[in-house]
Amino acid sequence: MILDSLALTPDHDIPAPLLTELTALYASNRDFHALSGDFPDPDDIRPEQVAAALADELLVPGAEVLLARSEGRLVGIAVTLAHHPDPVDPDPWIGLLMVDATAHGQGFGRQLAALVEDRFRTAGRTAVRLAVLDNNPKALDFWTALGYETLGWGRDRQLDRACTVLHKQLTPPTEPAASSPGADEA
């Protein structure tokens, strides 16, 4: 899996072919959008709605949209925040992690989460947070299986929905063991 930042055109638009891919990815997750209420009609998600949603995400200072590709195909998206808007919160956040529904169960979600965690780890961050909507038990199961623990409960800032805040400590990257002289000469 390859993870890249969303590259916008000089006019700050999403290139049309990429917007088509993103719209298909969003539309494939009809059940999530029915739970979240992020789109007026989860059965009719349009390119302009996806472009507007991503533009809103990118308005937040420190936000980044990451695209996950496998064998050239867009299989997932993650939206991250380097810093939460609450200055008391020291950790970066995963605001969204979504995998194309036609690829669910193939490990792409775990891979994408691990790559996002690695990016934070490489940046020297020691923990990460996210919020799961309380009406989405599948997402809560997914994140807790990855080692995220409940930190508390609250309401999301966007639509005031009930959510569970999760937290995961990030262990520092391990250095490869140095081989001793002659170790490879057996």
> pLDDT tens for residues 105-144?
999 999 999 999 999 999 999 999 999 999 999 999 999 9
Q: Average model confidence (pLDDT) for the chain? A: 90
Query: Topology of 2-169 in CATH?
Result: Aminopeptidase (3.40.630)
Q: Cβ distance 67 to 80 under 8 Å?
A: no
d(CA 22, CA 75): 9
d(CA 136, CA 166): 14
Which residues have a Cβ under 8 Å from the Cβ of 113 and sit 6 or more positions away? Answer: 78, 94, 97, 146
Annotated domain spans of the chain: 2-169
> pLDDT tens for residues 14-30?
999 999 999 999 999 99
Q: What is the pLDDT of residue 88?
A: 85
